Amino acid sequence: MARDYLRHYDVLVIGSGLAGQSLALRLAESRRVALVTKRSLEETATAWAQGGIAAVLDAADSVDAHIQDTITAGAGLCNVEATRFVVEHGHAAIDWLIAQGVPFTRDGSAFGYHLTREGGHSHRRIIHADDATGAAVQETLTEKVRKHPNITVLERHIGVDLITGAKLGLKAQRCWGAYLLDIDNDRILTVGAQHTVLATGGAGKVYLYTTNPDTATGDGIAMAWRAGCRVADMEFIQFHPTCLYHQHAKSFLITEAMRGEGAILRLPDGTRFMPEHDERAELAPRDIVARAIDFEMKKHGIDCVFLDVTHKSPVFIAHHFPNIYARCQKLGIDISRMPIPVVPAAHYTCGGVVVDLAARTDVPGLYAIGETACTGLHGANRLASNSLLECVVFAEAAARDILADKPAKSPKLPEWDESRVSDADEEIVISHNWDELRRFMWDYVGIVRTNKRLERASHRIKLLEREIDDYYANFRVSNDLIELRNLVLTAHLIVRSAQQRKESRGLHFSRDYPDMLPTAKDSVLKPSLR
């Protein structure tokens, strides 16, 4: 094997959002880290996050209040231990980000930073950088990552599969790294590492309409499942209530903070409808607001509803929501004078790879953090702005565990075998299957579900899996094929989890089981390794 095709690092981190970058920075003082990203370091779901980061930062707030808000939003399914762990470490996580130089919005309060409120929160506890918090965090950390001598950045590389003891024919099950596709040079690298971390984000692209970037294809979840890890609660896909509805606005999110600052949801005739669905009105948790909008759209046969903030002054709007204001202006929507057309869209994967409080998966040497993981924090519905907090807290927990772990003797890693495959003769199979998957997942496994819809989705997924497995076995891998393979597997896990839940809870609403069971149980799936 040519030397360039085989590389070794202390830690391999796949994914470059807040979870991956904060972990890399915490490890790099004493470890050689490879940070892998499918596109550039800047192109992540983190960079798209608008609202902010939830943490107990004000004297009037409390850890217990934040925990209770999280559990309430999670419909009783949150793991109490994990929830307390994240919330209690929240202030330290924010302090770490401030120390890195993240320019959060300041004000004249005792704390020194402006805190806003979002749906489901009983206090103002969302620290933010105007309405582009994710971008501010991403830019700050990316600059540090690019300059760090112990971090090797592998841009335009995608994980193909993990290298485990089972694949190497060893008795001891452990992760020893991963095979990566170098997209630009069309070659497979074998990357060995003592510790491998999946931080690839969620799977929003499994749906036709999503607020996620194109990179959100469930890669880490699928890779972990194939390696033998359990996944849990995959049926809980959060649909953000307010995605901008415009033919020229792809996946543009209208932050929850706008409703936190008083924006009102209206029908096309101006009628306010949220008070009829929940006493908290526009500040109800996301699942309730998304279902209410879906109900009103179907009831009235309309394509969208409208978010109205025109009762606020233009100065207030431009100051608090400068990016949304500017983006809408370019599309001919002056949000200080007219309401914003919005629809729900797939936003966040609450379930994922099962991990403990050190971010360890079922496979030794393999960790999962961020949206890829199921820590137990989110339960059946993520509370707004808890996701970025979880990224920082569990990145620190994983770093602490990795640094304390004793090195193991690495086995010899084989190169990727392409001897029995050929170049694909046509790509239409991939693009057609990708489109078909996203459309039937939207139609059958969306905001409202039924047994019949789930059965239809399951049948189509099985057909796609057979077709893709055959394609994968006979042709050289490509970025599109890897993503499609992962998306179909992730869709399979979502549908299986949804079929397993015989109730309506949080983000999972079934017309066949409209009531919530008295006991909350996780939907845990365990792979059978062949």
329-369 pLDDT, tens digit per residue, is 999 999 999 999 999 999 999 999 999 999 999 999 999 99
Task: Report the candidate in 255, 276, 288, 311 with the shortest Cα–Cα distance to residue 130.
Answer: 255
371 and 454 inside one domain: no
Q: How many domains does the chain have?
A: 3
3-state secondary structure of 87: helix
146 and 193 inside one domain: yes
Look at residue 280 and tell me if it is in a domain: yes
Active-site hit among 286, 382, 453, 485: 286
Beta bridge partners of 35: 13, 153
Look at residue 8 and tell me if it is in a domain: yes
Look at residue 528 and tell me if it is in a domain: no
Residue 90 tokens read as 């929240």
Task: Report the candidate in 411, 361, 14 with the shortest Cα–Cα distance to residue 179.
Answer: 14
Q: What is the pLDDT of residue 262?
A: 94
What is the distance between the alpha carbons of residues 119 and 286, in angstroms, rounded to a whole number?
A: 7
Query: Which parts of 183-273 are beta strand (E)?
Result: 187-198, 231-232, 237-244, 264-266
Look at residue 355 and tell me if it is in a domain: yes
Determine which helix (DSSP H) or strand (DSSP E) holds 53, and give its type and residue range. strand 53-54
138 and 26 inside one domain: yes
246 and 340 inside one domain: yes
The torsion angles phi and psi of 506, rounded to 5 degrees, stand at: 55, -120
- Find the domain containing 297 and state its range: 237-347
Q: Distance of alpha carbon 177 from its chain centroid, rounded?
A: 22
Task: Give, for all 530 residues of the chain, the pLDDT tens digit.
Answer: 445 788 999 999 999 999 999 999 999 999 999 999 999 988 888 877 777 999 999 999 999 999 999 999 999 999 999 999 999 999 999 999 999 999 999 988 878 999 988 878 999 999 999 888 989 999 999 999 999 999 999 999 999 999 999 989 998 899 999 999 999 999 999 999 999 999 999 999 999 888 888 899 999 999 999 999 999 999 999 998 999 998 887 778 898 889 989 999 999 999 999 999 999 999 988 888 988 998 898 899 998 999 999 999 999 999 999 999 999 999 999 999 999 999 999 999 999 999 999 999 999 999 999 999 999 999 999 998 999 999 999 999 999 999 999 888 899 999 898 877 777 766 778 888 999 999 999 889 999 999 999 999 999 999 999 999 988 888 889 999 999 999 999 999 999 999 999 999 999 999 999 999 999 999 999 998 64
449 and 506 inside one domain: yes
Max CA distance (Å), the chain: 68
Look at residue 77 and tell me if it is in a domain: no
Task: Report the candidate in 63, 80, 67, 66 with the shortest Cα–Cα distance to residue 520.
Answer: 80
Look at residue 62 and tell me if it is in a domain: no
Show the 3-state SS of 258-327. HHHCCCEEECCCCCECHHHCCCCHHHCCHHHHHHHHHHHHHHHCCCCEEEECCCCCHHHHHHHCHHHHHH
273-305 pLDDT, tens digit per residue, is 999 999 999 998 888 898 899 889 889 999 899
DSSP 60-76: T--HHHHHHHHHHHTTT
What is the distance between the alpha carbons of residues 460 and 466, in angstroms, rounded to a whole number?
A: 10
3-state secondary structure of 148: coil
β-strands 373-374, 352-354: how paired?
parallel
289 and 178 inside one domain: no
Give the contacts of 423 (CB within 8 A, at least 6 positions apart). 475, 476
144 and 181 inside one domain: yes
Residue 385 tokens read as 């702005």
Q: Are 35 and 21 in contact (CB under 8 A)?
A: yes
77-88 pLDDT, tens digit per residue, is 999 999 999 999
324 and 267 inside one domain: yes
32 and 145 inside one domain: yes
Task: Report the candidate in 373, 336, 347 with the shortest Cα–Cα distance to residue 285.
Answer: 347
Q: Does the active-site annotation cover 146?
A: no
188 and 310 inside one domain: no
Q: Are 15 and 372 in contact (CB under 8 A)?
A: yes
Q: Of 338, 371, 404, which marks where a domain is finished?
A: 404
331 and 249 inside one domain: yes
Look at residue 210 and tell me if it is in a domain: yes
CATH number at residue 327: 3.90.700.10
Q: Of 404, 420, 441, which marks where a domain is finished?
A: 404
CATH number at residue 164: 3.50.50.60
| Torsion on CA atoms 393, 395, 396, 402, rounded to nearest 10 | 150
Q: Of 332, 347, 362, which marks where a domain is finished?
A: 347
| DSSP code of residue 505 | B
277 and 200 inside one domain: no
